[in-house]
Structure 1
Amino acid sequence: MFKKILRITGITLGVIVGIAILAYAFIYVDMRLRISKTYDINAEPIQVKYDSASLAMGQRLVNTRACVECHGKDLGGTVLYEDALLGTFVSRNITKGRGGLPDDFTVSDWVRALKHGVNRNRKPLFLMPSHELSQLTETDMAAIIAYCSQVPPVDREPREFTLGPLGYVLSEFGLIPLLPAEFTDHQIHFAKEVKREISAAYGQYLSTICINCHGPNLKGGESPVPGGKYVADITSTGNPGKWSHQEFITALHTGVTPEGKHLNPAEMPWTITKSFTEDELTALHLYLKSIK
């Protein structure tokens, strides 16, 4: 009897392991196909100015749009996350230094990367938030390109971006936004300009930086970072919806909420939002409070 139980248990475990191996094989092949997909995308023409005003605007946008959070303060690339099971997530050197962008990297290449999340060969870039950046106006996109094209070169050979077994599985099910090109609207055209004023409309434009963590409806939910904490609802139905404009500004400038909670910048990047002006944060708060 005992031998029979062991035999049945062994067969059962063997079947489970076999199914798991087959499932992982399918996931691995599917993810490799998605990673190697070529996107039929032509970069929308854009006029880039390299005057002092454009460069100053670009520098500010690089800070407020979280470019430095991923690519480093010098834009020379960095290791974002490293784990044996998940993989090694790195951002690349986007300067013209050794290990960075080639000398012939064009404005069209920049547009493909920022607006569409693909490289010059039209293959998807890892973790490049094109679904957010595609919402930028032509003026803002051009300013970012101008500034990034002019930053001092950094010599830093990039480490290879690798996916571990768990990284493949979580990416397959959308629990890691590995390939934003897949959910970017590639048909959207540049908005020529957004009126910079204290209004919900301008706040909506600014809110695109929030959607990567708080979701398209900004209602929060599971963290996009594996093992991360539950993400807060920042609309009228969440805590920020109950705050005054000044309380909202103070929280996003100092990292301390009206309830006395100290926000962890690794979870809520108030180190980025502190660069926003009071008028910009008021506009953002107006928009968030308008979401029911």
Structure 2
Amino acid sequence: MLLLTFLFINHKVKSRFNKEYQVSVQTIPIPTDDASINLGKHIATIKGCGDCHGQNFSGQVVIDDPAIGFLAGPNITRGKGGLLSRHKTYTDEDYVRAIKHGIGQDNKTLKLMPSYEYNPLSKKDLGALIAYLKSLPPVDNETPPIRLNPLAYVLTHFDKLPLVAAERVDHSTQSQEEVLPEVSAAYGQYVAVSCTGCHRDNFQGGSAIVPGSPDVPNINSSGNLGKWSEAQFIQTLRTGITPEGKKMNAKFMPWKMTKEYTDTEIKSLYKFLKSLPG
């Protein structure tokens, strides 16, 4: 019975991996000026692109677990083992399809790519991000292929491991031209999309995202954040130490990423999260 159950799960998950998506890829203007590239670098930093792709974007191991398997963020520079080694060409449309939709050139889902966090980016921000990625110096590094063990299929089947990126994206969403940075709850909501991967869409947290990680805390007004002042919130996200004196593990709470938020971004995020009902 266990074998039959696993064979069923294995078949269902592989069919999800092999599903082809036909999406209308929005045309995003890609700038080339230094200011836009610097903006793209900032977006890549606060979105945590380096957490999977490595600080020089040549790829790095994300999961190496005997039960789950081996997953590495690929090299996305143009060095050996990078984009042009894996693909004959890589166009601006391919960047948009991967980042905004979580879909590869074969029209199948990318694995573990958090495109649901990038899908809402404005044209200006998405274009700047792609401009920065295209400007990266080539780095030679060939990451090993993904290897999934039985537990990975079981967890994916029950949606306990977010491997099927394309399923979590509203592919009909069209990017707006620009979102103006200003200290407001509305802009904070735009920034807070990066938090949903762990804290869920309602920001109330829940069970661990992957086995071995801790439960995810509630960060709306009914959680600890509801007791924190703006200054305490800023200190927490920039130092990794909460007002209660708890030092957060950067492996599970990316405070080394959030410390790079601008004052406008971090104050807006605080306003938005405080505005959420408990």
Cα distance in 1, alignment partners of residues 89 and 152 from structure 2: 33
Any idea what the Cα deviations from partners look like across 1:123-181, whole Å, max 9, x if unmatched? 10001111110011110000010000110001111211111110110011000000121
Match of 1:276 among 261, 264, 269: 261
Q: Which runs of 5+ in 2 are unaligned?
A: none
Is 1:83 matched with 2:82? Answer: no
The ranges of structure 1 where at least 4 consecutive aligned residues each deviate by more than 2 angstroms after the TM superposition are: none
By how many angstroms is 1:192 displaced? 1.2
For the residue of structure 2 that corresponds to 1:235, the secondary structure is coil
Cα distance in 2, alignment partners of residues 226 and 91 from structure 1: 19
By how many angstroms is 1:195 displaced? 2.0
By how many angstroms is 1:282 displaced? 0.9
Cα distance in 2, alignment partners of residues 96 and 284 from structure 1: 35
User: Superposed, which structure 2 residues align to 1:106-255 within 5 Å?
Assistant: 106-255=91-240
Cα distance in 2, alignment partners of residues 277 and 57 from structure 1: 12
Give the aligned residue type for 1:37.
Answer: K
Aligned to 1:26: 8
For the residue of structure 1 that corresponds to 2:61, the secondary structure is strand
Aligned to 1:56: 38
What value does the CA root-mean-square deviation take over the aligned residues? Answer: 0.8
Give the aligned residue type for 1:52.
Answer: D
Cα distance in 1, alignment partners of residues 24 and 72 from structure 2: 27
Match of 2:21 among 39, 46, 58: 39
With structure 2 as the length reference, what TM-score do the two structures score?
Answer: 0.97
With structure 1 as the length reference, what TM-score do the two structures score?
Answer: 0.92
User: Superposed, which structure 2 residues align to 1:66-105 within 5 Å?
Assistant: 66-102=48-84, 104-105=89-90
For the residue of structure 1 that corresponds to 2:129, the secondary structure is helix
Instruction: Work out the number of aligned pairs and report it.
Output: 274
CA contact (8 A) 2:207 2:215 kept: yes
By how many angstroms is 1:193 displaced? 1.2
Cα distance in 1, alignment partners of residues 247 and 149 from structure 2: 33
Any idea what the Cα deviations from partners look like across 1:217-255, whole Å, max 9, x if unmatched? 110001212121110000000001210001000000001
Any idea what the Cα deviations from partners look like across 1:86-117, whole Å, max 9, x if unmatched? 01011100000111102621000000000100
For the residue of structure 2 that corresponds to 1:210, the secondary structure is helix
CA contact (8 A) 2:40 2:129 kept: yes
Give the aligned residue type for 2:50.
Answer: V
Cα distance in 2, alignment partners of residues 278 and 47 from structure 1: 28
Is 1:259 matched with 2:244? Answer: yes
Q: Which runs of 5+ in 1 are unaligned?
A: 1-18
CA contact (8 A) 2:155 2:161 kept: yes
Cα distance in 2, alignment partners of residues 212 and 276 from structure 1: 18
For the residue of structure 2 that corresponds to 1:54, the secondary structure is helix
Report % sequence identity.
42
Any idea what the Cα deviations from partners look like across 1:51-80, whole Å, max 9, x if unmatched? 000110011111011101110000001111
For the residue of structure 1 that corresponds to 2:83, the secondary structure is coil
For the residue of structure 1 that corresponds to 2:51, the secondary structure is helix
Cα distance in 1, alignment partners of residues 148 and 226 from structure 2: 38
